[in-house]
Amino acid sequence: MPKFINITSHSLTQDQRNDAINEFGVTEFVEMPDNIKKLWGNVPPDLDDLGLDNHLQPLIAWLDDYLVEPDGSLSGNIFMIQGDYGATFKVVNIVRGLESVPVYATTERITEEVKQPDGSVQVKRTFKHVRFRKYNWRSR
């Protein structure tokens, strides 16, 4: 049964966990260690391509355990990948190249505006999980 590896800056919600179980048959959820999560959530914007590759090395090394099984076979695990666009693109390509499944979460955004007594408006935004989508593209 596949594991669900969360490569985001946030913990999974219960709705996301339930969806992963129902959609992919996931039996185990894996969160990044704190040091890797901090690295993923703080990609310096001034890095060039080589600098980004170097920054991501600890994450890539950590991912190796989930991309390939101990017997050398490919894992087929599910990877939720969301973050800095460039870093996300690089990690999605690595995961896809090893026949695992990269996904991202879609949400419904619910906005509520409440007019305050002083005339100002307070805006409350709620993000509700809808589904996972596979990163999928085709050549023309």
The secondary structure of 97-112 as a DSSP string is HTT-EEEEEEEEEEEE
Question: What mean pLDDT is reported for the chain?
Answer: 89
Per-residue DSSP letter, 75: -
User: What integer pLDDT is reported at residue 76 of this predicted model?
Assistant: 79
Asked if residue 139 belongs to a domain, the reply is no
Site of tokens 């993923």: 40
Amino acid at 105: A
Model confidence at 123, pLDDT cuts 50, 70, 90, reads very high
Asked if residue 120 belongs to a domain, the reply is yes
Average pLDDT on 110-132 reads 91
Angle at 42 between CA 39 and CA 44, to 5 degrees: 110
Asked if residue 140 belongs to a domain, the reply is no
Average pLDDT on 8-37 reads 94
User: What integer pLDDT is reported at residue 36 of this predicted model?
Assistant: 95
pLDDT tens digits, residue range 60-104? 999 988 876 655 565 678 999 999 999 999 999 988 877 788 999
User: What integer pLDDT is reported at residue 136 of this predicted model?
Assistant: 83
Percentages (nearest 5) of helix, strand, coil residues in the chain? 35, 30, 30
Asked if residue 23 belongs to a domain, the reply is yes
Contact, 61 vs 36, CB < 8 A?
Answer: no
Residues of the chain with pLDDT > 90, as a percent, come to 69
User: What integer pLDDT is reported at residue 138 of this predicted model?
Assistant: 65
Average pLDDT on 104-133 reads 91
Six-digit token pair at 120?
Answer: 């100002």
User: What integer pLDDT is reported at residue 73 of this predicted model?
Assistant: 61
Query: Residue 105 pLDDT more than 60?
Result: yes
Give the structural domain span for 86.
Answer: 3-134
Contact, 134 vs 102, CB < 8 A?
Answer: yes
Give dist(CA 59, CA 101) in Å, integer.
17
- For the beta carbon of residue 23, count every other beta carbon within 10 angstroms: 13
Asked if residue 38 belongs to a domain, the reply is yes
Q: Which residues pair with 7 in a beta bridge?
A: 81
Asked if residue 65 belongs to a domain, the reply is yes
**Domain count across the chain:** 1
